[in-house]
Amino acid sequence: MSPDSAPAAQEPDRAATSGPPPSLAALFVAFARMSLAGFGGVLVFARRAIVEQHRWMTADEFNETFALCHFLPGPNIVNLSMVFGARLRGIAGGVAAFTGLLLPPTLIMTVLAIIYARFGDVEVLRRILAGISCAAVGLLGVLRLPLQAVLLVAIPVSVGATFLLRRKVAA
């Protein structure tokens, strides 16, 4: 590879991101898609959409914005939506991105809660939900195998420390 050749995965330069800011609708839709695509890990989708797909920000700008969001209270992705939207379109942009991030999952959970309230006593639905609960517990157990090793040490240590501290206080 010659020193003059560009790397295969090149970050967008400033000229590539200096176009007109996205519309409020575009911000809403982009963050709505992120919230529906990711479950507990939307940050990867956010970076891909903001930096690579739409080129609304460079990678350095995204990293700086994300670093700022670490200092703010609350979930980082929610902070990122507000800061990013406000940076591009002012307060209205922050509200559009924030609403896009939270509205779709909120609507889905509300509809599911209404369905459960209406049909929760149906035996078939109760059995399905019991099966889903078992699957969720199994997934947590499989995906958190390293946690088990930590708990095997932490539980006896915490029980022992509690026992010793209570004995010391009683004496």
52 CB contacts (<8 Å, ≥6 apart)?
A: 12
Task: Provide the b/e sequence for 139-167 (b: ≥16 CB within 10 Å).
Answer: eeeeeeeeeeeeeeeeeeeeeeeeeeeee
pLDDT given for residue 140 in this prediction: 72
Tokens of 125: 């639905």
pLDDT given for residue 152 in this prediction: 79
Cα separation, 30 vs 56, in Å, equals: 11
Helix or strand holding residue 96 (H, E):
helix 76-119
CA–chain centroid gap for 63, Å, is: 16
Per-residue pLDDT of the chain (171 residues; tens, 9 = 90+): 444 544 444 444 444 455 688 999 999 999 999 988 877 678 888 888 899 999 999 999 999 988 988 888 888 889 999 999 999 999 999 999 999 999 999 999 999 999 989 988 888 888 888 888 888 777 776 676 666 776 777 778 888 877 787 776 666
Four-CA torsion 27, 30, 32, 34, nearest 10 degrees: -140
Burial class (CB in 10 A: 0-12, 13-18, 19+), 115: exposed
| 123 in Cβ contact with 134 (< 8 Å) | no
